[in-house]
Structure 1
Amino acid sequence: MLAVYGVVGDQRRWLLALARKAEEERWWASADHRDHLEALRIIADSASEVFDYAPAVIPPMLRTPSYALAFPCAPGVSPARQRAFDAESRKALTSLRGARYSFVVDEAALRRPMGNTEVMADQVEWLIGMVRVNGLDLRVLPFGRFGCPATAFRLYRFAKGAPLVHFGDHLTSVLLDDPVDTDIYESAMTALLAHALAPFESVPILEDALARLSGA
Protein backbone atom coordinates (compact mmCIF):
# COMPACT_ATOMS: atom_id res chain seq x y z
CA MET A 1 0.00 0.00 0.00
CA LEU A 2 2.85 2.41 0.82
CA ALA A 3 4.32 1.79 -2.63
CA VAL A 4 1.00 2.80 -4.20
CA TYR A 5 1.17 6.10 -2.31
CA GLY A 6 4.69 6.67 -3.62
CA VAL A 7 6.42 5.97 -0.30
CA VAL A 8 9.31 3.64 -1.08
CA GLY A 9 12.85 2.77 0.00
CA ASP A 10 14.13 3.95 3.37
CA GLN A 11 10.97 5.97 4.07
CA ARG A 12 8.83 2.89 3.53
CA ARG A 13 10.97 0.76 5.88
CA TRP A 14 10.97 3.51 8.50
CA LEU A 15 7.17 3.92 8.39
CA LEU A 16 6.62 0.17 8.67
CA ALA A 17 8.92 0.02 11.71
CA LEU A 18 7.06 2.94 13.26
CA ALA A 19 3.71 1.22 12.67
CA ARG A 20 4.95 -1.93 14.38
CA LYS A 21 6.18 0.13 17.33
CA ALA A 22 2.85 1.94 17.59
CA GLU A 23 1.10 -1.41 18.00
CA GLU A 24 3.28 -2.19 21.01
CA GLU A 25 2.99 1.06 22.97
CA ARG A 26 1.08 4.32 23.14
CA TRP A 27 3.23 6.63 21.04
CA TRP A 28 2.50 9.69 23.15
CA ALA A 29 4.01 7.96 26.18
CA SER A 30 7.39 7.66 24.44
CA ALA A 31 9.97 10.30 23.69
CA ASP A 32 9.59 9.66 19.95
CA HIS A 33 6.39 11.62 19.30
CA ARG A 34 8.25 13.66 16.66
CA ASP A 35 8.51 10.46 14.63
CA HIS A 36 4.77 10.52 14.15
CA LEU A 37 4.85 14.11 12.98
CA GLU A 38 7.57 13.09 10.53
CA ALA A 39 5.40 10.19 9.36
CA LEU A 40 2.52 12.60 8.70
CA ARG A 41 4.90 14.89 6.82
CA ILE A 42 5.93 12.02 4.54
CA ILE A 43 2.29 11.16 3.89
CA ALA A 44 1.47 14.82 3.18
CA ASP A 45 4.38 15.07 0.74
CA SER A 46 2.87 12.15 -1.22
CA ALA A 47 -0.67 13.56 -1.20
CA SER A 48 -2.33 15.54 -3.96
CA GLU A 49 -4.98 17.06 -1.67
CA VAL A 50 -5.17 17.64 2.08
CA PHE A 51 -8.33 18.71 3.88
CA ASP A 52 -8.09 19.92 7.50
CA TYR A 53 -10.94 20.63 9.90
CA ALA A 54 -11.13 21.35 13.63
CA PRO A 55 -14.31 22.31 15.54
CA ALA A 56 -14.37 25.23 17.99
CA VAL A 57 -10.62 25.93 17.83
CA ILE A 58 -8.07 26.95 15.19
CA PRO A 59 -6.47 23.90 13.49
CA PRO A 60 -2.88 23.27 14.71
CA MET A 61 -1.31 24.12 11.34
CA LEU A 62 -2.91 27.58 11.39
CA ARG A 63 -2.17 28.57 14.99
CA THR A 64 0.09 31.54 15.68
CA PRO A 65 2.79 30.92 18.31
CA SER A 66 0.94 33.06 20.87
CA TYR A 67 -2.35 31.22 20.25
CA ALA A 68 -0.58 27.88 20.58
CA LEU A 69 1.09 29.06 23.79
CA ALA A 70 -2.29 30.00 25.26
CA PHE A 71 -3.82 26.65 24.29
CA PRO A 72 -4.43 24.57 27.45
CA CYS A 73 -2.28 21.48 27.84
CA ALA A 74 -4.00 18.13 27.56
CA PRO A 75 -4.03 16.02 30.74
CA GLY A 76 -0.82 14.07 31.14
CA VAL A 77 1.09 16.09 28.54
CA SER A 78 3.93 18.40 29.56
CA PRO A 79 3.79 21.99 28.27
CA ALA A 80 7.13 21.43 26.51
CA ARG A 81 5.78 18.48 24.55
CA GLN A 82 2.62 20.28 23.56
CA ARG A 83 4.58 23.35 22.43
CA ALA A 84 6.86 21.10 20.35
CA PHE A 85 3.83 19.41 18.76
CA ASP A 86 2.27 22.76 17.85
CA ALA A 87 5.55 24.13 16.51
CA GLU A 88 6.07 21.10 14.27
CA SER A 89 2.48 21.39 13.01
CA ARG A 90 2.98 25.05 12.10
CA LYS A 91 6.27 24.26 10.39
CA ALA A 92 4.42 21.93 8.03
CA LEU A 93 2.47 24.90 6.66
CA THR A 94 5.68 26.63 5.57
CA SER A 95 6.90 23.57 3.67
CA LEU A 96 3.83 22.75 1.61
CA ARG A 97 4.78 21.03 -1.62
CA GLY A 98 2.55 19.81 -4.41
CA ALA A 99 -0.55 19.08 -2.32
CA ARG A 100 -3.53 21.41 -2.43
CA TYR A 101 -4.53 22.30 1.14
CA SER A 102 -8.04 23.30 2.24
CA PHE A 103 -9.02 24.35 5.75
CA VAL A 104 -12.46 24.74 7.28
CA VAL A 105 -12.57 26.85 10.44
CA ASP A 106 -15.64 26.83 12.62
CA GLU A 107 -16.88 30.37 13.34
CA ALA A 108 -16.91 29.39 17.01
CA ALA A 109 -13.10 29.26 16.87
CA LEU A 110 -13.07 32.99 16.09
CA ARG A 111 -15.19 33.76 19.15
CA ARG A 112 -13.83 31.26 21.67
CA PRO A 113 -11.24 33.10 23.82
CA MET A 114 -7.76 31.63 23.79
CA GLY A 115 -5.46 33.77 25.88
CA ASN A 116 -6.33 37.47 25.90
CA THR A 117 -7.93 39.63 23.21
CA GLU A 118 -4.53 40.58 21.80
CA VAL A 119 -3.71 36.91 21.21
CA MET A 120 -7.01 36.36 19.44
CA ALA A 121 -6.70 39.55 17.39
CA ASP A 122 -3.20 38.56 16.22
CA GLN A 123 -4.48 35.11 15.29
CA VAL A 124 -7.41 36.40 13.25
CA GLU A 125 -5.32 39.11 11.58
CA TRP A 126 -2.76 36.47 10.57
CA LEU A 127 -5.51 34.34 9.02
CA ILE A 128 -6.77 37.32 7.03
CA GLY A 129 -3.27 37.95 5.70
CA MET A 130 -2.81 34.30 4.75
CA VAL A 131 -6.02 34.36 2.70
CA ARG A 132 -5.44 37.74 1.06
CA VAL A 133 -1.71 37.64 0.45
CA ASN A 134 -0.87 33.95 0.27
CA GLY A 135 -4.10 32.69 -1.26
CA LEU A 136 -4.73 30.21 1.56
CA ASP A 137 -7.85 28.11 0.91
CA LEU A 138 -9.48 28.93 4.25
CA ARG A 139 -13.24 28.61 4.58
CA VAL A 140 -15.27 29.72 7.59
CA LEU A 141 -18.23 27.57 8.62
CA PRO A 142 -20.67 30.18 9.96
CA PHE A 143 -23.20 29.73 12.71
CA GLY A 144 -26.54 28.53 11.45
CA ARG A 145 -25.09 26.26 8.77
CA PHE A 146 -24.70 22.51 9.06
CA GLY A 147 -24.28 20.56 12.28
CA CYS A 148 -20.49 20.36 12.17
CA PRO A 149 -18.70 17.14 13.18
CA ALA A 150 -17.46 17.10 16.77
CA THR A 151 -14.12 15.52 15.89
CA ALA A 152 -11.20 17.21 14.19
CA PHE A 153 -9.75 15.29 11.26
CA ARG A 154 -7.39 15.57 8.33
CA LEU A 155 -8.10 13.80 5.05
CA TYR A 156 -5.34 12.98 2.55
CA ARG A 157 -6.10 12.25 -1.10
CA PHE A 158 -3.57 10.81 -3.53
CA ALA A 159 -3.17 10.71 -7.29
CA LYS A 160 -2.89 6.95 -6.87
CA GLY A 161 -4.28 5.00 -3.96
CA ALA A 162 -7.21 5.33 -1.61
CA PRO A 163 -7.55 8.28 0.79
CA LEU A 164 -6.23 8.26 4.34
CA VAL A 165 -7.76 9.97 7.36
CA HIS A 166 -5.80 11.13 10.38
CA PHE A 167 -7.21 12.36 13.63
CA GLY A 168 -5.50 12.93 16.91
CA ASP A 169 -3.86 15.40 19.23
CA HIS A 170 -1.07 15.42 21.77
CA LEU A 171 -2.39 12.21 23.31
CA THR A 172 -3.54 10.07 20.42
CA SER A 173 -2.72 9.58 16.76
CA VAL A 174 -4.90 7.40 14.54
CA LEU A 175 -4.58 6.83 10.79
CA LEU A 176 -7.51 5.21 8.97
CA ASP A 177 -7.25 3.51 5.59
CA ASP A 178 -10.26 1.18 5.55
CA PRO A 179 -12.79 2.51 2.99
CA VAL A 180 -15.58 1.77 5.48
CA ASP A 181 -14.03 4.40 7.74
CA THR A 182 -12.62 6.86 5.22
CA ASP A 183 -15.91 7.05 3.29
CA ILE A 184 -17.53 8.53 6.42
CA TYR A 185 -14.97 11.31 6.54
CA GLU A 186 -15.14 11.84 2.79
CA SER A 187 -18.87 12.50 3.22
CA ALA A 188 -18.20 14.83 6.16
CA MET A 189 -15.62 16.73 4.11
CA THR A 190 -18.05 17.13 1.21
CA ALA A 191 -20.75 18.47 3.53
CA LEU A 192 -18.37 20.87 5.28
CA LEU A 193 -17.11 22.30 1.99
CA ALA A 194 -20.68 22.66 0.71
CA HIS A 195 -21.79 24.64 3.77
CA ALA A 196 -18.64 26.65 4.49
CA LEU A 197 -18.13 30.04 2.88
CA ALA A 198 -15.64 30.44 0.04
CA PRO A 199 -12.35 32.12 1.00
CA PHE A 200 -13.40 35.51 -0.42
CA GLU A 201 -16.70 35.24 1.49
CA SER A 202 -14.87 34.21 4.65
CA VAL A 203 -12.69 37.34 4.80
CA PRO A 204 -15.57 39.64 5.90
CA ILE A 205 -16.39 37.18 8.72
CA LEU A 206 -12.74 37.26 9.79
CA GLU A 207 -12.64 41.05 9.54
CA ASP A 208 -15.80 41.33 11.65
CA ALA A 209 -14.23 39.09 14.29
CA LEU A 210 -11.07 41.22 14.22
CA ALA A 211 -13.10 44.43 14.61
CA ARG A 212 -14.90 43.02 17.64
CA LEU A 213 -11.62 41.96 19.20
CA SER A 214 -9.92 45.28 18.47
CA GLY A 215 -12.79 47.15 20.07
CA ALA A 216 -12.92 44.92 23.13
Structure 2
Amino acid sequence: MAIGSTRGKRRLGRHIRPILDRSGLKVDEVVKASRVSRPTIVRMLSGDALARWPTLAMVLDVIGATPEEKTRALQLWEVADVDPYAIGHARDLPSGYKRFRMDELEAVRERSLDPALITGLLQTAGYAEAVSRATSRRIIGEGWDEHAAAERSERQRLLSRDKPLEFHAVIDESALRRLVGGVEVMRDQLDHLIAMAELPNVTIQVLPFDRGAYEAQAGGLHLLDFAEVDEPIAAYVEALTGTAPVEDEDAEVLAAVWDDAARLALTAQESVSLIKAVRDTLGDP
Protein backbone atom coordinates (compact mmCIF):
# COMPACT_ATOMS: atom_id res chain seq x y z
CA MET A 1 0.00 0.00 0.00
CA ALA A 2 1.45 3.37 -1.00
CA ILE A 3 2.16 6.13 1.52
CA GLY A 4 0.88 9.12 -0.41
CA SER A 5 -0.04 12.70 0.35
CA THR A 6 -2.18 13.01 3.48
CA ARG A 7 -4.57 15.61 2.06
CA GLY A 8 -4.73 13.80 -1.29
CA LYS A 9 -5.78 10.57 0.39
CA ARG A 10 -8.56 12.34 2.27
CA ARG A 11 -9.87 13.95 -0.92
CA LEU A 12 -9.87 10.59 -2.69
CA GLY A 13 -11.75 9.00 0.21
CA ARG A 14 -14.39 11.74 0.08
CA HIS A 15 -14.78 11.10 -3.66
CA ILE A 16 -15.31 7.35 -3.21
CA ARG A 17 -17.67 7.45 -0.21
CA PRO A 18 -20.79 8.78 -2.03
CA ILE A 19 -20.28 6.27 -4.85
CA LEU A 20 -20.27 3.47 -2.27
CA ASP A 21 -23.35 4.92 -0.56
CA ARG A 22 -25.16 5.13 -3.89
CA SER A 23 -24.37 1.48 -4.64
CA GLY A 24 -26.17 0.33 -1.50
CA LEU A 25 -23.39 -2.19 -0.82
CA LYS A 26 -21.90 -2.78 2.60
CA VAL A 27 -18.15 -2.78 3.02
CA ASP A 28 -18.13 -6.52 3.64
CA GLU A 29 -20.01 -7.08 0.38
CA VAL A 30 -17.41 -5.00 -1.48
CA VAL A 31 -14.65 -7.05 0.20
CA LYS A 32 -16.21 -10.30 -1.00
CA ALA A 33 -16.83 -9.09 -4.56
CA SER A 34 -13.49 -7.33 -5.06
CA ARG A 35 -11.27 -9.65 -2.99
CA VAL A 36 -9.69 -6.53 -1.49
CA SER A 37 -9.12 -6.76 2.26
CA ARG A 38 -11.50 -4.99 4.61
CA PRO A 39 -8.74 -2.92 6.31
CA THR A 40 -7.57 -1.67 2.90
CA ILE A 41 -11.07 -0.51 1.91
CA VAL A 42 -11.82 1.06 5.29
CA ARG A 43 -8.51 2.95 5.39
CA MET A 44 -8.98 4.07 1.78
CA LEU A 45 -12.43 5.48 2.54
CA SER A 46 -11.19 7.30 5.64
CA GLY A 47 -8.18 8.75 3.83
CA ASP A 48 -5.72 6.98 6.11
CA ALA A 49 -4.05 5.00 3.33
CA LEU A 50 -3.66 4.97 -0.43
CA ALA A 51 -4.33 1.70 -2.26
CA ARG A 52 -2.46 0.93 -5.47
CA TRP A 53 -4.37 1.91 -8.58
CA PRO A 54 -5.33 -1.64 -9.76
CA THR A 55 -6.79 -2.30 -6.30
CA LEU A 56 -8.69 0.97 -6.30
CA ALA A 57 -9.94 0.41 -9.85
CA MET A 58 -11.31 -3.01 -8.84
CA VAL A 59 -13.21 -1.47 -5.93
CA LEU A 60 -14.60 1.26 -8.18
CA ASP A 61 -15.87 -1.36 -10.63
CA VAL A 62 -17.62 -3.29 -7.86
CA ILE A 63 -19.40 -0.20 -6.47
CA GLY A 64 -20.51 0.90 -9.94
CA ALA A 65 -18.45 4.04 -10.53
CA THR A 66 -19.19 5.74 -13.85
CA PRO A 67 -16.36 6.30 -16.39
CA GLU A 68 -16.31 9.97 -15.38
CA GLU A 69 -16.06 9.05 -11.70
CA LYS A 70 -13.22 6.62 -12.44
CA THR A 71 -11.39 9.29 -14.41
CA ARG A 72 -11.74 11.74 -11.53
CA ALA A 73 -10.62 9.05 -9.07
CA LEU A 74 -7.49 8.47 -11.14
CA GLN A 75 -6.76 12.18 -11.18
CA LEU A 76 -7.11 12.34 -7.39
CA TRP A 77 -5.06 9.17 -6.96
CA GLU A 78 -2.20 10.60 -9.04
CA VAL A 79 -2.16 13.78 -6.93
CA ALA A 80 -2.32 11.74 -3.73
CA ASP A 81 0.55 9.46 -4.75
CA VAL A 82 3.20 11.89 -3.50
CA ASP A 83 6.28 10.76 -1.63
CA PRO A 84 6.35 12.41 1.82
CA TYR A 85 10.07 11.81 2.02
CA ALA A 86 10.46 14.72 -0.39
CA ILE A 87 10.27 16.64 2.89
CA GLY A 88 13.74 16.91 4.40
CA HIS A 89 14.25 14.86 7.58
CA ALA A 90 10.80 13.29 7.13
CA ARG A 91 11.92 10.02 8.68
CA ASP A 92 12.85 11.88 11.85
CA LEU A 93 9.66 13.94 12.18
CA PRO A 94 6.88 13.01 14.64
CA SER A 95 3.85 11.69 12.75
CA GLY A 96 1.54 14.60 13.58
CA TYR A 97 4.09 17.20 12.53
CA LYS A 98 4.91 15.28 9.35
CA ARG A 99 1.23 15.25 8.40
CA PHE A 100 1.10 19.00 9.04
CA ARG A 101 4.17 19.58 6.86
CA MET A 102 2.68 17.56 4.02
CA ASP A 103 -0.56 19.55 4.14
CA GLU A 104 1.38 22.81 4.41
CA LEU A 105 3.26 22.01 1.19
CA GLU A 106 -0.05 22.05 -0.71
CA ALA A 107 -1.65 25.01 1.05
CA VAL A 108 -2.04 28.45 -0.51
CA ARG A 109 -2.70 30.25 2.78
CA GLU A 110 -1.75 29.65 6.39
CA ARG A 111 -2.95 31.38 9.53
CA SER A 112 -1.23 30.79 12.85
CA LEU A 113 -1.76 31.84 16.44
CA ASP A 114 1.12 31.45 18.90
CA PRO A 115 0.70 32.35 22.59
CA ALA A 116 4.24 31.60 23.78
CA LEU A 117 6.76 31.25 20.94
CA ILE A 118 7.59 32.74 17.54
CA THR A 119 5.94 30.52 14.94
CA GLY A 120 8.17 28.14 12.97
CA LEU A 121 7.82 29.84 9.59
CA LEU A 122 9.30 33.00 11.10
CA GLN A 123 12.04 31.49 13.27
CA THR A 124 15.74 32.14 12.81
CA ALA A 125 18.16 29.21 12.91
CA GLY A 126 19.37 30.15 16.38
CA TYR A 127 15.84 30.44 17.74
CA ALA A 128 14.82 27.10 16.20
CA GLU A 129 17.79 25.37 17.78
CA ALA A 130 17.00 26.88 21.18
CA VAL A 131 13.36 25.74 20.97
CA SER A 132 14.54 22.26 19.99
CA ARG A 133 16.84 22.04 23.00
CA ALA A 134 13.90 22.87 25.27
CA THR A 135 11.58 20.25 23.73
CA SER A 136 11.18 16.79 25.22
CA ARG A 137 13.31 14.13 23.55
CA ARG A 138 10.28 11.85 23.73
CA ILE A 139 8.49 14.15 21.27
CA ILE A 140 11.23 14.97 18.75
CA GLY A 141 13.78 12.22 19.40
CA GLU A 142 17.45 12.36 20.22
CA GLY A 143 19.80 14.49 18.14
CA TRP A 144 17.11 16.72 16.63
CA ASP A 145 18.99 19.88 17.68
CA GLU A 146 21.41 19.48 14.79
CA HIS A 147 18.55 19.20 12.26
CA ALA A 148 16.18 21.84 13.65
CA ALA A 149 17.67 24.85 11.85
CA ALA A 150 17.87 23.04 8.50
CA GLU A 151 14.27 21.82 8.83
CA ARG A 152 13.03 25.34 9.58
CA SER A 153 15.04 26.78 6.66
CA GLU A 154 13.56 24.25 4.23
CA ARG A 155 10.05 24.91 5.48
CA GLN A 156 10.50 28.67 5.14
CA ARG A 157 11.12 28.32 1.40
CA LEU A 158 7.32 28.13 1.13
CA LEU A 159 7.32 31.89 1.65
CA SER A 160 9.57 32.55 -1.36
CA ARG A 161 8.59 29.82 -3.86
CA ASP A 162 7.20 30.71 -7.31
CA LYS A 163 3.67 30.90 -5.87
CA PRO A 164 4.51 31.84 -2.29
CA LEU A 165 2.41 30.76 0.64
CA GLU A 166 0.26 33.59 2.00
CA PHE A 167 1.06 33.66 5.71
CA HIS A 168 -0.76 35.54 8.47
CA ALA A 169 0.70 35.15 11.95
CA VAL A 170 -0.85 36.34 15.19
CA ILE A 171 1.80 36.33 17.93
CA ASP A 172 1.37 37.02 21.63
CA GLU A 173 3.53 39.79 23.08
CA SER A 174 4.96 37.24 25.53
CA ALA A 175 6.66 35.50 22.59
CA LEU A 176 8.48 38.75 21.79
CA ARG A 177 9.71 39.21 25.35
CA ARG A 178 10.61 35.60 26.19
CA LEU A 179 14.42 35.30 25.93
CA VAL A 180 14.57 32.07 23.98
CA GLY A 181 18.25 31.27 23.43
CA GLY A 182 19.42 34.43 25.19
CA VAL A 183 19.72 38.11 24.27
CA GLU A 184 21.74 37.69 21.08
CA VAL A 185 19.39 35.06 19.65
CA MET A 186 16.36 37.23 20.46
CA ARG A 187 17.89 40.34 18.88
CA ASP A 188 18.39 38.40 15.65
CA GLN A 189 14.90 36.91 15.90
CA LEU A 190 13.16 40.25 16.36
CA ASP A 191 15.19 41.81 13.54
CA HIS A 192 14.09 38.88 11.38
CA LEU A 193 10.42 39.45 12.25
CA ILE A 194 10.71 43.09 11.23
CA ALA A 195 12.27 42.09 7.90
CA MET A 196 9.69 39.35 7.23
CA ALA A 197 6.84 41.78 7.87
CA GLU A 198 7.94 43.68 4.77
CA LEU A 199 7.16 40.74 2.47
CA PRO A 200 3.90 41.20 0.54
CA ASN A 201 2.71 37.68 1.37
CA VAL A 202 3.44 37.90 5.12
CA THR A 203 1.25 39.62 7.72
CA ILE A 204 2.29 39.78 11.36
CA GLN A 205 -0.02 40.92 14.14
CA VAL A 206 0.90 41.09 17.82
CA LEU A 207 -1.54 40.50 20.66
CA PRO A 208 -0.35 42.93 23.36
CA PHE A 209 -0.63 42.23 27.07
CA ASP A 210 -3.27 44.93 27.55
CA ARG A 211 -5.80 43.05 25.40
CA GLY A 212 -6.26 40.51 28.20
CA ALA A 213 -7.13 36.84 27.86
CA TYR A 214 -8.20 35.10 24.67
CA GLU A 215 -9.38 31.59 23.87
CA ALA A 216 -6.16 30.06 22.49
CA GLN A 217 -3.79 31.05 25.29
CA ALA A 218 -3.34 27.38 26.18
CA GLY A 219 -1.64 26.46 22.91
CA GLY A 220 -0.84 27.46 19.35
CA LEU A 221 -2.87 26.62 16.28
CA HIS A 222 -2.40 26.52 12.51
CA LEU A 223 -5.08 26.79 9.80
CA LEU A 224 -4.35 25.79 6.20
CA ASP A 225 -6.44 26.84 3.19
CA PHE A 226 -6.15 25.19 -0.21
CA ALA A 227 -6.79 26.27 -3.79
CA GLU A 228 -9.78 23.97 -4.33
CA VAL A 229 -13.01 25.72 -3.37
CA ASP A 230 -14.54 22.47 -2.05
CA GLU A 231 -11.58 21.60 0.15
CA PRO A 232 -12.16 22.16 3.87
CA ILE A 233 -9.50 23.88 5.95
CA ALA A 234 -6.89 21.72 7.65
CA ALA A 235 -6.44 22.63 11.31
CA TYR A 236 -3.66 21.68 13.71
CA VAL A 237 -3.01 22.47 17.35
CA GLU A 238 0.25 22.52 19.29
CA ALA A 239 -0.08 20.31 22.37
CA LEU A 240 2.46 19.19 24.95
CA THR A 241 2.73 15.91 23.07
CA GLY A 242 3.31 17.57 19.67
CA THR A 243 1.32 18.75 16.64
CA ALA A 244 -2.12 17.18 16.31
CA PRO A 245 -4.78 17.47 13.56
CA VAL A 246 -8.27 18.74 14.37
CA GLU A 247 -11.13 17.49 12.22
CA ASP A 248 -14.53 18.58 10.93
CA GLU A 249 -16.59 21.01 13.05
CA ASP A 250 -13.76 21.51 15.54
CA ALA A 251 -11.61 22.93 12.73
CA GLU A 252 -14.26 25.60 12.14
CA VAL A 253 -14.24 26.39 15.87
CA LEU A 254 -10.48 26.97 15.70
CA ALA A 255 -10.97 29.24 12.69
CA ALA A 256 -13.39 31.34 14.76
CA VAL A 257 -10.86 31.46 17.61
CA TRP A 258 -8.20 32.71 15.20
CA ASP A 259 -10.58 35.36 13.78
CA ASP A 260 -11.35 36.63 17.28
CA ALA A 261 -7.65 36.84 18.16
CA ALA A 262 -6.83 38.66 14.92
CA ARG A 263 -9.54 41.23 15.69
CA LEU A 264 -8.09 41.77 19.17
CA ALA A 265 -4.52 42.13 17.91
CA LEU A 266 -2.71 45.28 16.85
CA THR A 267 -2.70 46.21 13.17
CA ALA A 268 0.27 45.05 11.12
CA GLN A 269 1.84 48.52 11.26
CA GLU A 270 1.27 48.85 15.02
CA SER A 271 2.67 45.36 15.50
CA VAL A 272 5.94 46.20 13.75
CA SER A 273 6.26 49.28 15.94
CA LEU A 274 5.87 47.13 19.06
CA ILE A 275 8.39 44.58 17.78
CA LYS A 276 10.87 47.39 17.19
CA ALA A 277 10.25 48.76 20.69
CA VAL A 278 10.90 45.36 22.28
CA ARG A 279 13.99 44.95 20.09
CA ASP A 280 15.34 48.30 21.32
CA THR A 281 15.21 47.08 24.93
CA LEU A 282 17.79 44.43 24.04
CA GLY A 283 20.41 46.98 23.01
CA ASP A 284 23.03 46.69 20.27
CA PRO A 285 25.26 43.65 19.65
Selected match of 1:125 from 183, 191, 200: 191
SS in 1 for 2:143: helix
Listed one character per residue, the Cα deviations across residues 138-168 of structure 1 (whole Å, up to 9, x for unaligned) are 1111111141311111011233222121124
TM-score (norm 2): 0.61
CA separation in 2, counterparts of 1:124 and 1:195?
21
Residue equivalent to 2:257 = 188
Indicate the larger mover: 143-152 or 31-40.
31-40
Q: Which amino acid aligns with 2:275?
A: L
Residue equivalent to 1:74 = 136
Indicate the larger mover: 166-175 or 154-163.
166-175
Kindly state the Cα deviation for residue 59 of structure 1 after the two structures are TM-superposed: 1.1
Kindly state the Cα deviation for residue 206 of structure 1 after the two structures are TM-superposed: 0.7
Determine if the alignment matches structure 1 residue 203 to structure 2 residue 269: no
Selected match of 1:47 from 103, 107, 122: 107
CA separation in 2, counterparts of 1:55 and 1:98?
25
CA separation in 2, counterparts of 1:44 and 1:67?
21
Q: Considering Cα pairs closer than 8 Å and 6+ residues apart, tell me whether 1 or 2 has the greater RCO.
A: 1
Where do 1:10-159 residues align within 5 Å? Answer: 10=78, 12-13=80-81, 31-33=91-93, 39-71=99-131, 72-76=134-138, 77-78=140-141, 80-85=143-148, 87-96=150-159, 97=163, 99-132=165-198, 136-148=202-214, 149=216, 150-158=218-226, 159=229
Indicate the larger mover: 200-209 or 155-164.
155-164
CA separation in 2, counterparts of 1:170 and 1:8?
34
Residue equivalent to 1:8 = 76
C-alpha change, 1:8 and 1:41, in structure 2 (3 Å) is farther
C-alpha change, 1:182 and 1:86, in structure 2 (3 Å) is farther
C-alpha change, 1:79 and 1:87, in structure 2 (3 Å) is farther
Task: Give aligned-pair identity as a percent.
Answer: 23
Listed one character per residue, the Cα deviations across residues 39-78 of structure 1 (whole Å, up to 9, x for unaligned) are 4344224333211121111112211111122221324344
C-alpha change, 1:14 and 1:133, in structure 2 (3 Å) is closer
CA contact (8 A) 1:45 1:98 kept: no
CA contact (8 A) 2:190 2:279 kept: yes
- Runs of 4 or more off by more than 6 Å in structure 1? 4-7
Indicate the larger mover: 197-206 or 98-107.
98-107
| Long gaps (5+) in structure 2 | 1-9, 16-71
Kindly state the Cα deviation for residue 129 of structure 1 after the two structures are TM-superposed: 1.0
CA contact (8 A) 2:97 2:242 kept: no
C-alpha change, 1:166 and 1:87, in structure 2 (3 Å) is farther
Residue equivalent to 1:21 = none
C-alpha change, 1:86 and 1:54, in structure 2 (3 Å) is farther
CA separation in 2, counterparts of 1:151 and 1:169?
6
| Long gaps (5+) in structure 1 | 19-29
CA contact (8 A) 1:139 1:196 kept: yes
